[in-house]
Structure 1
Amino acid sequence: MSYQLTALFALFVAVFAFLIWGRFRYDLVAFAALVIGVIIGAVPTDVAFTGFGHPATLIVALVLVVSRGLVNAGAIAYLARLVRRSGDSIPRHVATIGGIGALLSAFINNVAALALLMPVDLEAAKRASRPASDTLMALSFATILGGLVTMIGTPPNIIVAQYRATVEGAPFSMFDFTPVGLVCAGVGLAFIALIGRRLVPHREGLSPDPLSAINDYFGELEVQEGSKSIGRQVSELDAKAQENEARILGLVRNGKNLPGRALAAEIEEGDLLLVEGSPEALDRLRSEEELSIVGSNVIEDIGGGDMTLVEAVVTREGRAEGRSVAQIGLLHNHGVSLLGVSRQGKRIYGRVPGLRLRAGDILLLYGPAERMDDVVAWLGTLPLAERGLNVTQGHRAWLAAGLFGIAVGCASFGIIDLAIALAAVAVLYVVLDIVPIREVYDHIEWPVIVLLGSMIPLGAALEEAGGTALIAEWIVAGTQGLPAAAILAVVMIVTMTLSDVLNNTATAVVAAPTGYEIATRLDVSPDPFLMAVAVAASCAFLTPIGHKNNTLVLGPGGYQFGDYWRMGLPLEILIVAVGVPAILTFWPL
């Protein structure tokens, strides 16, 4: 072997060892390997940073921004609502939340899909008084499987598609992955719901985040012109509120509380609804029922569209302690409204404006993002750690989904490149304030971008130096005399094994050229081998480190490292068993 090839193999062995060890962050390991590769002459200087401008890297970043836009606009909340209606039956719940997770993962980043649905799953477990471990791993695996269905569902699909463009002149299109992906995802989901979930041991999850115990905010929502709640009875709206884990406590009309909870009263324009629930529940109720935060029109006229929610604790020394909400004059003085107050789990009675605040009360403030730090300091309150609260813009759900659908359609029919289409959607989301400019960079997963940008030049250098050809030669020699279909299965197994201990992105970067080289040596079409790499690189089910979704559920589910293979091993065997015939059916050799 040449010096360059020897150096590159040594670098990859070191990268794999450090990634498996897990002592250092994967992006740091990959970037350090790239820098070392350039210094020792293994990677040409002129291509060292080309990975950061590679279409695959850009698409991964843009998918994360678009995913945030769909969440902000409330397009995802409609699907999440179905989960809450599935009841407490574990099989039905797993089938429902797994199906929704897989559907979401096909079109938004699968990590984002899991992050969106994991709180819903935890809520369902708490409501049913069962361990979250019964369903969380199933949800993680389902969102991974859903990513197989389209090109943008998971980074390995993007990498393989772009690699095909490099070697064949044209990438895989958006829905080229769909036939095989649907077969694997469908069979995998059926296994998870019927059998796999039973193989996972019952575990008690970690103690919940202290912030998650702040569930009971008391506040007011205003019925403005055009609200679809007008003309409905309070009891009907209360039933809808309870679906969102909220409750209607009363109704105020013309400044007066109607008797009791006014459940029989018909809602009119200008009414104020007294509500109770978590921040997420109140925001869902506001968005889905087209209600308004009191003073929101005034606030948005002053502050524009970049609205946010902030939680802050009242202190004894602060300006808010001992004064009523009306006396503080948040809306008049600062253009900020009070969406709710939480008081140590105790129910609050009366009106929000007349509520006299006490030390220890937690305020849920709504207003322009750029003003919040100053308002919190002026009040003398202590801000709580951020927990991802966002203001859902329910009236823009169809707009956000429509723009995304148009972009996907244009890319699918070859009218415009996918990266450009997603970039256009991201720009429109920012212009329309669906994704505030301050959130654009916050929701790009920079460690993944650095990993991808670093590994692509290393993978290209390995291929250029003949490394992937050498690996392919070893695999072909080791499978001498076997039919091409059996070799395809071996490629899937080797790729899956790598992905179980490495990041799936890094696995795809290395395995795609290897699969292509094997196909070339066998004198068959490379497409089935590239498709096999795409499927296998994403299907990391044996460990909590192979895919970030598995890592995300490790703590909340209380799982141990050895729990994953119980459901993951038969699932991986099943994916190979159905994946190989499906690939050969839709992508013949």
Structure 2
Amino acid sequence: MALPDLHAFGAMFIALGMFYGFANGTLRVEIVSLLTIGSIALLLYVLPMPGQDKYAGLALAFEGFGHYALVTICSLMILGRGLVVTGSLDPAARALARIWQYNKSLGLLLTVVMCMFLSMIINDTPVLVLMIPILAQMAGRGGMPASKTLIPVNAAILIGGMATTIGTSTNLLVVSIAQDLGLRTLTVFHFTPIVLCAMVFALPYIWLVMPRLLPDNTKAVAVESRTFLAKLRVEGDSPMRGKTIEEVRGNVPAGVSVWLPVGANGSVDRRVMASGTLEDLQEAARKLSAKLAPTWLLERIRANSSRTGDDLMVAEMIIAPDSRLIGLTPKTAGFVGVALLGIHHARQPFRDTRLHSPDAPMMEGDVLLVMGMAGDLRRFAESDGLLQLEGGQEVTRSTKAPVALAIMAGAVGLASVGLVPIAISSLAGAILMFVTGCVRFERVGRALSAQVIVLVAASIALGKFILVSGAAAWMGGLLASGLQYLPPAGVLAAIMVFVTMLTNFASNTAAAAVGTPIAFNIASQLNLPPEPLVLAVLFGCNLCYATPVAYQTNMMILTEGDYRFADYLRSGIPLVLIMVAALSTTLVYWYGI
């Protein structure tokens, strides 16, 4: 074969540089992405493409920032954020927790299946964020160790994400590049049946085999959650009114201790004392139809939040040595603008004579669990001598949960039946999330990932440059010369393995940018339809189970499970082989090639 020309060589050199930058890890992903865009712009400015001026290269390098695929990805991030901040997925999480308590093996199976289907329409990351605390909580209550469940659940999420065009940003990138190259428009569930067929072979391995290949790192990652003393205000219509405390104990999570206040007549009236973690106390309050703070105070704080547009937060605050609260009780402290949900009594250097009660006097080192708007929390800490700990938890806007679910269903439904493109329906859904208050526009930065934005923009620019420079045709011809003797299933498997290797050691978006135009050229040279080859690239970009650097969700569970690189290789490589064999065979059958 003839050597590539200067522009094709430059495109391949920039692509290799991008891969090396991702694999090396010295520079941040967004820096490597911006350097890629800058390199393309500079090269085409100094050496314009034949028949073009030097400014045409600038348009090519920066067109990714205005591409409809990027708009779609950002819109889907906002939709996913709306489901998270409204607590729309919490009922499913609670149902899973009950199943885990009944049977661990069945709990893992249903968790894996639920994650597969959730990630088809919701970005992978929010689904994993929802599952991590559930799996950690189940492990702490006698379930499977988190180190044996996190990698299988993450693998299930990644498999589900590859099943629709909106499952991951990489899928959208591959489909958009392919459409730019002339492929027909693919609907949301266009290739879902193919992935479902592969799931049949992958599910038994994920459920039964993968946990056995992973270590039990329970001792390494076990962290004792802080418990708080709280006062549950039982509402008048609660079925627990008039019950005995033994009956109440049967209706609260196992991690919660409950008892009647001093002077109670033996049955539950308006107050129940409790001790537990924040999550357990919230679940206990839900089951008992109770509140962790006075109802009138919670309603006032929520009304102020709605009026100002500020989110409510739950934060932990330590009582400093000079705090005015020392020696006061929560009743006499006179908190302003915030609600006290619970208190953790610090261990005293000498014998602690305080009652084990949320009404006991506060002492230095106690940790208060407080809810309010961010500004009110800050003023409360400054005025009362408190130190706010990092990592405040945002309170879900549960009243908006049905609205968020309806918006997500509408956006996906309109695109799935082909009424409008996903770019339009997802953008409309994002706008509705803002209009209805499910997502606050001023907090949109929490929904969008700057890293993903520049990464996708760089990948679009690189893919376009590889195509127009002739690099895709040259690399496609080189690969076709070796693949021409293979049957169609072998061609698809080889492309999938090639892209999978790039994905696991570099970046799935970069692999998509390089692999998609190459697949088109291989299809033309081997007289094969381009669509199954493009899908082989798309699937290969999602087979990122074998290394922790392959995908951001892999990195999220690295510390949570105290995993090592070898854990990903040992459990991930067999799954990659199963999926490659199942997907390539199904593609051949599905397209009749």
TM-score (norm 2): 0.88
Say if 2:43 is the partner of 1:27: no
Distance 1:201 1:300, change over 3 A: closer
Question: Post-superposition shift, 1:48?
Answer: 2.2
Partner residue, 2:141: 127
- Pair 1:368-2:377 in alignment: no
Q: What is the one-letter code of the residue matched to 2:483? A: T
- State the shift of 1:152 in Å: 1.7
**Secondary structure, counterpart of 2:181 in structure 1:** helix
CA-CA distance at 1:240 after TM superposition = 4.2
Structure-2 separation of matches of 1:102 and 1:199: 21
Shift of 1:259: 4.2
Q: Could you tell me which of 335, 338, 348 is aligned with 1:336? A: 338
Distance of 1:237 and 1:179 partners within structure 2: 47
The more displaced of 296-305 and 199-208 is 199-208
Letter paired with 1:383: Q
Cross-structure match for 1:8: 11
Distance change in 2, residues 1:343/1:475 (3 Å): same
Give distance in 1, aligned partners of 2:439 and 2:40: 38
CA displacement at 1:52 relative to structure 2: 1.9
Distance 1:576 1:129, change over 3 A: closer
Shift of 1:205: 6.5
Name the SS of the counterpart of 1:242 in structure 2: coil
Q: Is the 8 A contact 2:183 2:531 kept in 1?
A: no
Q: Cα deviations across residues 497-524 of structure 1 (Å, max 9, x unaligned)?
A: 1111112122112212221222222223
The alpha-carbon distance between structure 1 residues 290 and 588, as it changes in their structure 2 partners (threshold 3 A), is farther
Aligned counterparts, 1:441-480, within 5 A:
441-480=445-484
Structure 2 counterpart of 1:428: 432
Structure 1 pair 232/8, CA: closer, same or farther in 2 (3 Å)? farther
Assess if the C-alpha contact under 8 Å between 2:177 and 2:460 holds in 1. Answer: no
Aligned residues: 569
Q: Distance in 2 between matches of 1:363 and 1:587?
A: 62
Q: Is the 8 A contact 2:120 2:164 kept in 1?
A: yes
Q: How does 1:6-405 map to 2 (within 5 A)?
A: 6-41=9-44, 44-85=57-98, 86-87=100-101, 90-128=104-142, 131-168=145-182, 170-203=184-217, 206-207=220-221, 213-224=224-235, 238-242=249-253, 245-250=255-260, 258-259=264-265, 262=267, 265=268, 271-286=270-285, 291-292=290-291, 293-294=293-294, 295-304=297-306, 306-330=311-335, 333=336, 335-344=337-346, 352=358, 354-386=359-391, 389-405=393-409
AA partner of residue 55 (structure 1): Y
Q: Report Cα offsets for 1:180-235 as digits up to 9, x if no partner.
A: 22222342222111222222244457545xxx634312223444577787798866
Structure 1's 249 and 163: CA in aligned 2 closer, same or farther, altered over 3 A? farther
**More moved, 571-580 vs 222-231:** 222-231
Answering whether residue 492 of structure 2 is matched by residue 497 of structure 1, we say no
Bigger shift: residues 507-516 or 341-350 = 341-350
| 122-131 or 487-496, which deviates more | 122-131
- Partner amino acid, structure 1, of 2:157: T
Q: Is the 8 A contact 2:8 2:471 kept in 1?
A: yes
* 2:27 alignment partner, SS class: coil
**Unaligned segments of structure 1, at least 5 residues:** none
Deviates more, 1:77-86 or 1:377-386: 77-86
Worse-matched range after superposition: 185-194 or 453-462: 185-194
- Tell me, in whole angstroms, the C-alpha distance in 1 between the residues paired with 2:538 and 2:571: 21
Contact map agreement 1:469 1:514 (CA 8 A) in 2: yes
TM-superposed CA distance for 1:415, in Å, is: 2.7
Q: Is the contact made by 1:376 and 1:382 (CA closer than 8 Å) also made in structure 2?
A: yes
Aligned-partner residue type, residue 323 of structure 1: L
- Give a deviation string over 1:52-72, Cα, whole Å, max 9, x none: 222222222222222222122
Could you tell me how far 1:165 is from its partner in structure 2? Answer: 2.6
Contact 1:206 1:555 in 2 (8 A): no
For the residue of structure 2 that corresponds to 1:320, the secondary structure is: coil
For residue 280 of structure 1, what is the amino acid of its counterpart? E
Task: Tell me the distance in 2 between the aligned counterparts of 1:56 and 1:462.
Answer: 18
| Cα 1:58–1:95 shift into 2, 3 Å | same
Contact kept? 1:489, 1:580, Cα under 8 Å: yes
Unaligned runs of 5+ in 2: 48-55
State the TM-score, normalized to the length of structure 1: 0.89
Query: What code does the residue aligned with 2:477 have?
Result: E
Shift of 1:99: 2.0
Residue pair 2:173, 2:456 contacting (<8 A) in 1 also: no
Amino-acid identity (%) = 26
Distance of aligned partners of 1:24 and 1:326 in 2 relative to their CA distance in 1, 3 Å threshold: same
Change (3 A) 1:400 1:248: farther
**Shift in Å at residue 139 of structure 1?**
1.7
Corresponding position of 1:581: 585
The 1:282–1:15 alpha-carbon spacing in structure 2 relative to 1, beyond 3 Å, is: same
